[in-house]
């Protein structure tokens, strides 16, 4: 379905919605902190992150969620088609300096509800080979 807006009548459980690789570096975390107002130093200061027991600076959980859902909005052809989005934070995304972390996301249709005109998309989200979001699901309204 690449490039075409999905239609409910053409969707089946198991359909792949695509994949995305999201690069995250420290500069992006600082920009997100400014935009969100979340200036917790674990998201930009290595010393503080390590002092509180983290392996290093970690990405904001809400940044990760926001970056990941872009795959679903793009697939649906309209980010406003996403009517519900839920996840659990499983592991932090550790962002090295210098360098970048990468968040890998893939999605597949988990269920189709013709009566409500929605599909549930199940997402697999990893970074560094570990799952960072668990039970990551979005409900999308389609025509």
Q: Quick one: pLDDT at residue 22?
A: 98
Q: Is domain 8-23+60-141 given the CATH code 3.40.50.720 in the classification?
A: no
Q: What is the distance, to the nearest Å, from the Cα of residue 112 to the centroid of all Cα atoms in its chain? A: 21
Q: Is 55 exposed, middle or buried (0-12, 13-18, 19+ CB in 10 A)?
A: exposed
The model's confidence at residue 3, banded by pLDDT at 50, 70 and 90, is low
CB 68 within 8 A of CB 103: yes
* Across 94-118, average pLDDT: 97
Confidence of residue 90 (pLDDT cuts 50, 70, 90): very high
Please report which confidence band the pLDDT of residue 72 belongs to, taking 50, 70 and 90 as the band edges. Answer: very high
Query: What average pLDDT score do residues 36-59 get?
Result: 97
48 pLDDT higher than 70: yes
Q: Is the pLDDT of residue 2 over 70?
A: no
φ and ψ at 70, to 5 degrees?
-55, -35
């Amino acid at each position: 379905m690449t490039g075409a807006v999905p239609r409910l009548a053409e969707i089946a459980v198991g359909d792949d919605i695509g994949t995305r690789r999201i690069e995250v570096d420290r500069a992006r975390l600082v920009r997100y902190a400014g935009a969100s107002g979340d200036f917790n130093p674990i998201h930009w200061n290595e010393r503080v992150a390590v002092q509180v027991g983290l392996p290093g600076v970690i990405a904001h959980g809400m940044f990760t969620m926001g970056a990941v859902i872009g795959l679903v909005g793009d697939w649906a052809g309209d980010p406003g088609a996403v009517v519900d989005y839920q996840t659990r934070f499983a592991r932090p995304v550790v962002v090295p300096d210098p360098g970048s972390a990468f968040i890998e996301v893939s999605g597949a249709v988990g269920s189709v509800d013709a009566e409500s005109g929605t599909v549930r998309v199940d997402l697999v989200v990893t970074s560094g080979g570990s799952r960072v979001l668990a039970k990551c699901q979005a409900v999308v309204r389609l025509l």
